[in-house]
């Protein structure tokens, strides 16, 4: 999703300046995008089916509500992305320059609309709205717009898409830094570093403020147990501190080896250091998020990496502004090496959201323990889990192999595709 | 409303079968028709830009089924757990093999993905056919509306069947042959020269098999579920459906002999749609019959979502499907015409 945006940016600049190198850059990234997209498609399909296979009770009860955004995702965005990706990858010679730009834009639009609908689904689970609960446990939708305008959804969407752009910026900057450090494809190296750093500094900053801040505060109002777990706050406190690092000790209900800053948590959530933040002691034990240390670590990994990203990108942006970035090998190295970190940060963020929601599947209304498929044995689940782990492991290896080869060949080796064989040929 | 959504889901799944069906068919025929590297390139390129959009009909249809009939979605997906997972793995294998084959110019790499493409396409056809047969035969749904089927038990149709028994295997074979003919005809539309001729000839051979297995499957279906005929007897107009099945089969042969591949392909599409519509018409209003007791059947009445949801859904669904049809027209128009193995300046 992030890369789709950056490709549109490249195509826009190409059209405005008439500079063929931007078209070439777009073609280069389109090849990588195509492989990513394919893997996204084949790994995304299991997710749609998995609601039914492994969470049949949840599906039966909530299908009338969350089935809508999921079906809308298929009907609106999947068709859009898939058709226009084919046009974008193979139609360059058959389409006018503006039509080709249009195809790229539609792929971007399709992927961002897809993101919206899936976030609406998760947001309803985190913060149920527009529903009526029937005696047999089923939820019924009472307002279509209420579902789509769920405030949680928009805050989560902003934060999530920003995170996607962060990932794409880091990858683009890393490839550019690689070329610059290797002193090859220098023009493209500079272009990728420039676009990556500009997109990066904007998205990394926005990821923390306002999107991260707003989502965090909304979560604190609506899922106080989750926030307490994330922050490792066992006892309620006025002027609650923020724990920067430490290890949650569940048995003794405290953080071991904490590095904490007083009063900051109260300020971040409520805007005043005098406010009281509810600790885990305010909630019955059976409403605590089930895997507390994992929740704590996921959140801190995400936030810690997010902070590092801002520092790195701001430094790089300053150097760029001063015209010194392309020669500054000491910053090019971390730019090149940091590209896996946004993947980790995004994953950690999702873990925070989903583990924080525990023990609820639908917050406050349906426990995870009551949502799974009753007749699917643990043995079958394990069998298929291992099957997927193996398959995805193999796909990861293929992905690394192919993307590395593209990067190695460089942007100079790419020509516009005419003949379709798969999405890239 | 229930009837509307029943037919919407049926039509979406039928569209999926017609579109992704030729991708699957070409995958199955891949080692038989794709004798040379040029042949294989042409076969891949005939489906390359469209296969993913075709597959989306499965996702859109599945999602629509989820929101319109959540009980059916929940019960059938958890009950058909293992075959569904296998279908997911096959879809992954099929998609990956199409996309990644051309990326490395190495004989082992290409051969490997050729194999995966064939294997996953063939099994997908068989599983899809078996899936429909399972729905017709019925599954052991209990009073809690759930069930779980192993892959096989004793291969017999009875109160405790597995996913695979003699009836569902017939379903699998019908699907495989039908999609092979369908794929061969599509290839005849897109290919030129020797490959086009061989594709047409292949479709003619397959056609004979198709007539035979179609007849067997219709007889077997009535034997396994005689109540399939009830709706037909109540609304005799429905007998137009099997008539159309027969007519489309005849038309396929006539057009293939006249070397009008596109017309034959359209008739093959009609055949597929009519077979599926025929099954749906026989089942209506039951969505998934129970082999234990008819009281446990999952029906439109007990599976349909709330009134507000299904009414509001109709609005966005109509809009979205109109848009999707627009995209399809654009895409297939852009990529119409014959495909060749050589092309200037492709790839790396």
Interface contact B337, partner A, CB < 8 A: no
Q: How confident is the model at residue A416 (pLDDT cuts 50, 70, 90)?
A: low
Residues 344 through 383 of chain A touching chain B, CB cutoff 8 Å: 373-377, 380
B44 and A CB contact within 8 Å: yes
Residues counted in chain A: 425
Query: In sequence order, what DSSP letters do the residues of A1-39 get, joined into one string?
Result: -HHHHHHHHHHHHHHHH--HHHHHHHHHHHHHHHHHHHH
Angle formed by the axes of helices A329-337 and A186-206, nearest 10°: 70
Query: What is the C-alpha separation between A92 and B251, in angstroms, rounded?
Result: 38
Task: Please answer whether residues A50 and A59 qualify as being in contact, where contact means their C-beta atoms are separated by less than 8 angstroms.
Answer: no
- What is the three-class DSSP state of A392? helix
Tens of pLDDT along B136-185? 999 999 888 999 988 888 888 877 788 999 999 999 999 999 999 999 99
Longest CA span, chain B: 64
Q: Picking from B275-289, B311-325, B329-343, which range would have the lowest pLDDT averaged per residue?
A: B329-343
pLDDT digits (tens, 9 = 90+) for A188-227: 999 999 999 999 999 999 999 999 999 999 998 999 899 9
> Would you state the pLDDT for residue B344?
39
The DSSP code sequence of B82-94 is HHHHHHHHHHHHH
Q: How close B248 gets to chain A, by Cα (Å)?
A: 29
pLDDT at B338 over 90: no
N- to C-terminal Cα separation, chain A: 22
Residue of chain A minimizing CA distance to B337: A419
User: Could you say which of B66, B334, B339 has the minimum Cβ distance to residue A51?
Assistant: B66
A83/B53 Cβ within 8 A: yes
CA-CA distance, A238 to A247, in Å (whole number)?
Answer: 22
Cβ contact B171:B160 at 8 Å: no
What is the 8-class DSSP label of residue B306? P
Mean pLDDT of chain A: 91
Q: Which pTM was predicted?
A: 0.91
State how far the alpha carbon of A236 is from the alpha carbons of A227, A229, A300, A352, B175, in Å: 12, 12, 20, 21, 63
The SS3 call for residue A137 is coil
Q: Give pLDDT tens digits for B39-61.
A: 999 999 899 888 988 999 999 99
Give the pLDDT confidence of A293-338 residue by residue, as tens digits.
999 999 999 999 999 999 999 999 999 999 999 999 999 999 999 9
* pLDDT score at B263: 95
Give me the sign of the Cα torsion angle B126, B128, B133, B135: positive
Pairing of β A366-367 and β B286-288: unpaired
pLDDT digits (tens, 9 = 90+) for A63-98: 989 999 999 999 999 999 998 998 898 888 888 989
Residues B14-28: tens digit of each pLDDT: 999 999 999 999 999
pLDDT in the model for residue A26: 93
CB proximity under 8 Å: B 65-94 to A: 66-71, 73-79, 81-82, 84-85, 88-89, 91-92
Average pLDDT over residues A245-257: 87
Q: What is the pLDDT of residue A261?
A: 86
Q: Which residues of B touch A90 (CB under 8 A)?
A: 48-49, 335
Minimum distance, in Å, between the CA of residue A7 and any CA atom of chain B: 18
Contact between chains at B348 and A413 (C-beta distance less than 8 A)? yes
**Would you call A71 and B74 a contact, using CB atoms and an 8 Å cutoff?**
no
> B52, A405: Cβ pair inside 8 Å?
no
Going by pLDDT thresholds of 50, 70 and 90, the confidence category of residue A417 is: low
Interchain CB distance below 8 Å, A376 and B78: yes
**Interface contact A52-B73, CB threshold 8 A:** yes
Q: Which of A182-186, A275-279, A338-342, B86-90 has the lowest mean pLDDT?
A: A275-279
The answer to whether residue B32 scores a pLDDT higher than 50 is yes
Distance of alpha carbon A330 from alpha carbon A323, whole angstroms: 15
Is A83 close to B96, i.e. CB distance below 8 A?
Answer: no
Q: Using the CB atoms, write b or e for B52-89: b if 16+ within 10 Å.
A: bbbbbbbbbbbbbbbbbbbbbbbbbbbbbbbbbbbbbb
The whole-number pLDDT of residue B177 equals: 97
To the nearest 10°, the Cα dihedral for B222, B224, B226, B231?
-80
pLDDT of residue B348 exceeding 60, the answer is no
Query: Binning pLDDT at 50, 70 and 90, where does residue B190 land?
Result: very high
Chain A interface includes B222 (CB < 8 A): no
Percent of residues, chain A, with pLDDT higher than 70: 97
pLDDT for the residue numbered B343: 58
At A139-161, the pLDDT tens digits run: 999 999 999 999 999 999 999 99
Q: Is the pLDDT of residue A287 over 50?
A: yes
pLDDT value at A43 more than 80 = yes
Pairwise CB contact (< 8 Å): B85 & A374:
no
- State whether residue B313 sits within 8 Å of chain A by CB: yes
| pLDDT computed for residue A414 by the predictor | 73
Whether the predicted pLDDT of B347 surpasses 50: no
Tell me what the mean pLDDT of segment B215-239 comes to: 91
Q: What confidence category does residue A422 fall into, taking pLDDT thresholds of 50, 70 and 90?
A: very low
């Amino acid at each position: 999703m992030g890369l789709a945006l950056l490709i549109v940016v490249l195509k826009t600049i190409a059209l405005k300046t008439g500079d063929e190198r931007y078209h070439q850059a777009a073609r280069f990234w389109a090849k990588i995008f195509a492989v990513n997209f394919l893997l996204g498609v084949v790994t995304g399909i299991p997710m749609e089916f998995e609601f039914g296979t492994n969470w049949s009770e949840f599906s039966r009860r909530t299908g009338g509500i969350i089935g809508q955004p999921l079906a809308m995702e298929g009907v609106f965005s999947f068709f859009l992305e898939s058709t226009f990706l084919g046009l974008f990858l193979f139609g360059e010679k058959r389409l006018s320059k503006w039509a080709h730009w249009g195809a790229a834009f539609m792929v971007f639009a399709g992927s961002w609309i897809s993101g919206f609908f899936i976030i609406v689904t998760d947001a309803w689970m985190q913060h149920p709205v527009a529903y009526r609960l029937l005696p047999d446990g089923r939820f019924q939708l009472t307002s279509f717009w209420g579902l789509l305008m769920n405030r949680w959804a928009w805050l989560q969407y902003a934060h999530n898409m920003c995170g996607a752009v962060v990932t794409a910026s880091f990858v683009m900057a890393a490839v550019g830094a690689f070329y610059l450090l290797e002193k090859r494809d220098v023009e493209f190296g500079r272009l990728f570093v420039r676009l990556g750093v500009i997109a990066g500094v904007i998205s990394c900053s926005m990821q923390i403020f306002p999107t991260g801040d707003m989502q965090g505060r909304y979560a604190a109002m609506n899922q106080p147990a989750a926030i307490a777990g994330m922050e490792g706050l066992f006892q309620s406190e006025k002027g609650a501190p923020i724990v920067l690092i430490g290890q949650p000790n569940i048995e003794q209900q405290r953080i071991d080896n904490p590095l904490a800053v007083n009063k900051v948590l109260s300020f971040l959530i409520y805007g005043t250091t005098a406010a009281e933040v509810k600790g885990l002691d305010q909630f019955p034990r059976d409403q605590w998020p089930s895997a507390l240390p994992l929740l704590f670590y996921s959140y801190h990994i995400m936030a810690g990496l997010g902070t590092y990203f801002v520092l790195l990108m701001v430094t790089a942006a300053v150097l760029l502004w001063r015209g010194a970035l392309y020669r500054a090998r000491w910053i090019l190295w971390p730019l090149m090496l940091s590209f896996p970190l946004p993947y980790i940060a995004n994953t950690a963020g999702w873990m925070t959201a989903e583990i924080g929601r525990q023990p609820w599947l639908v917050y406050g209304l349906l426990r995870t323990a009551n949502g799974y498929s009753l007749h699917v044995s643990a043995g079958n689940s394990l069998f298929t889990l291992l099957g997927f782990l193996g398959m995805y492991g193999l796909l990861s290896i293929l992905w690394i192999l192919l993307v590395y080869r593209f990067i190695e060949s460089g942007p100079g080796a790419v020509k516009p595709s005419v003949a379709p064989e798969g999405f890239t040929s | 409303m229930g009837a509307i959504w029943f037919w919407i889901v049926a039509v979406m799944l039928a569209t999926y079968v017609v579109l992704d069906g030729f991708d699957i068919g070409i995958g199955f025929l891949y080692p038989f028709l794709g004798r040379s590297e040029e042949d294989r390139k042409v076969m891949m390129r005939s489906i390359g830009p469209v296969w993913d959009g075709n597959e989306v009909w499965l996702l859109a249809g599945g999602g629509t089924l989820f929101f319109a009939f959540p009980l059916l979605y929940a019960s059938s997906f958890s009950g058909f757990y293992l075959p569904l997972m296998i279908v997911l793995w096959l879809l992954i294998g099929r998609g990956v093999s199409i996309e990644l084959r051309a990326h490395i110019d190495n004989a082992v790499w290409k051969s490997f993905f050729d194999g995966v493409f064939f294997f996953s396409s063939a099994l997908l056809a068989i599983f899809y056919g078996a899936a429909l047969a399972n729905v017709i035969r019925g599954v052991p749904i209990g009073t809690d509306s759930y069930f779980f089927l192993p892959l096989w038990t004793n291969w017999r149709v009875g109160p405790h069947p597995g996913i695979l028994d003699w009836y569902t295997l017939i379903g699998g074979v019908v699907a495989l042959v039908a999609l092979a003919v369908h794929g061969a005809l599509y290839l005849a539309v897109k290919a030129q020269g020797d490959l086009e001729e061989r594709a047409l000839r292949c479709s003619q051979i397959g056609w004979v098999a198709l007539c035979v297995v179609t007849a067997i499957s219709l007889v077997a279906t009535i034997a396994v579920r005689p109540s399939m005929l009830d709706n037909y007897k109540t609304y005799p107009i429905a007998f137009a459906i099997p008539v159309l099945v027969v007519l489309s089969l005849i038309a396929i042969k006539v057009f293939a002999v006249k070397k009008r591949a596109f017309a034959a392909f359209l008739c093959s599409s009609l055949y597929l749609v009519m077979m599926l519509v025929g099954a749906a018409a026989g089942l209506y209003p039951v969505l998934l019959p129970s082999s234990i007791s008819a009281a446990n059947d999952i029906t439109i009445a007990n599976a349909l979502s709330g009134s507000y949801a299904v009414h509001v859904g109709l609005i966005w669904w109509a809009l979205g499907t109109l848009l999707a049809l627009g995209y399809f027209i654009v895409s297939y128009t852009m990529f119409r015409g014959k495909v060749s193995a050589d092309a200037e300046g492709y790839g790396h």
